[in-house]
Structure 1
């Protein structure tokens, strides 16, 4: 539940729900996930919408998959994405610029001193 960027709702959830419905795997697990945000808002005091991991979890549970198998399938998807990022970084390096941008946008981050950078 919850997402650091999609605080008003994960845009992947409607698609996951539609695929789940189209294939006969939309039922009690999705209803349970759907009840979560309201309960969490009341109990925790902040919005925690369903995220993609929760939606995929509801699908895997509806399919009756062993949780360890479901976790493994999730890792396959993340691994494929990581490989794509590594190959992209090799041909068009942007990692350092993205890292510097992220660090500079949050005042809680301590920016590292670079060799040759002026101090003071």
Structure 2
């Protein structure tokens, strides 16, 4: 009963990587057993337990298992670590975005 309550209130901690959280989540789901639900239900529960800044990137995506959610979350973490897609800097260290002009010839 204690494990069930914890399972239903689990959240990713600040600074906790998605992979670490997945291990903690799956360990707890193992203790809860069948009440944790099918893999799709566990994936949905895991997705909504992620940090808000990760959840923002995957909120409209459906997953079939926890590993898929964790992979998507890790990709978002990596993107954030790199500072986004356009992280070029000029000589003064100021970030500017790379703009590409497309020329269409007839």
TM-score computed with the length of structure 1 as normaliser: 0.28
Q: Give the helix-richer structure, 1 or 2.
A: 1
TM-score computed with the length of structure 2 as normaliser: 0.31
